[in-house]
Structure 1
């Protein structure tokens, strides 16, 4: 792992996600993997059998030994923006297994849990304005909840901000409304 990506990861561990997200934003969201050093490599080398989210990283490293050198060297040679995008995508997708951005799954596990717990109101506001940003599941749910409750919000902006089709945004709103209990009005009657 390069020193630069290591510093971004340390900041994220400390609760400051902005350096990692900023570095990741420098790489295309859709085509970042085309610039990864591991492009074309055997994907099996990035999935050590003894590694997983509940393992102890030091034990995995001791057990795997030099077999980790090849995949970790690929990661270390990646440009920082690509490594940051790789890590952010693995967090966004809640990817529990495999080496990503030079981190074993067992090393990434605490970061994955922190990612799931984080809530960035600025990111939610950016999506509502149509600015493409990376959000976690909870932040996306908040965006959809706000759209479901406020018909004046622009679904096209939200679709652009989330990077999904408008049709899918409306499907998420329908699913949200089905799963949410009715809200009681001031008069005591249920509002659907």
Structure 2
């Protein structure tokens, strides 16, 4: 199975920077045939019936992950978004800078304009360097100056050289000799 599919076999579709078109596909959007009260997604903490009803709608939503990503990237801390309550999203908000989703990295390297975390930006630089992407293209992908892209590639080369040198050192280092043992180290039989 391709790595670009999720558990429901839908291809991964990342929201581009500023894209709000995904909202039209959301199950929470009221229509003439599907009336949904928007207040359902902003329950009080003790309104468990509303919370369960909102989450049940979210489980059916084709853009649930996109909704969650948008909430995290925009810092939305109120209401139920992406099937999670405010309290359930709080740790995700805290850990967002460390998120490293390689499908997002690959989408960015291929030209999609995404909100990237610092970890994802570093991974884009390494992936682009390994794939031979030009400095000018990297500058365009990351929305940085060509000079900055050049510096990022220089840092990537240095990091890869350092990592390769460290791997060589670790694989060629002879094992440490064991200290000789005496009879008392093995214990005695009772």
Using structure 2 for the length normalisation, give the TM-score. Answer: 0.48
CA radius of gyration, larger in: 2
Greater length-normalized contact order (CA 8 Å, ≥ 6 residues apart): 1
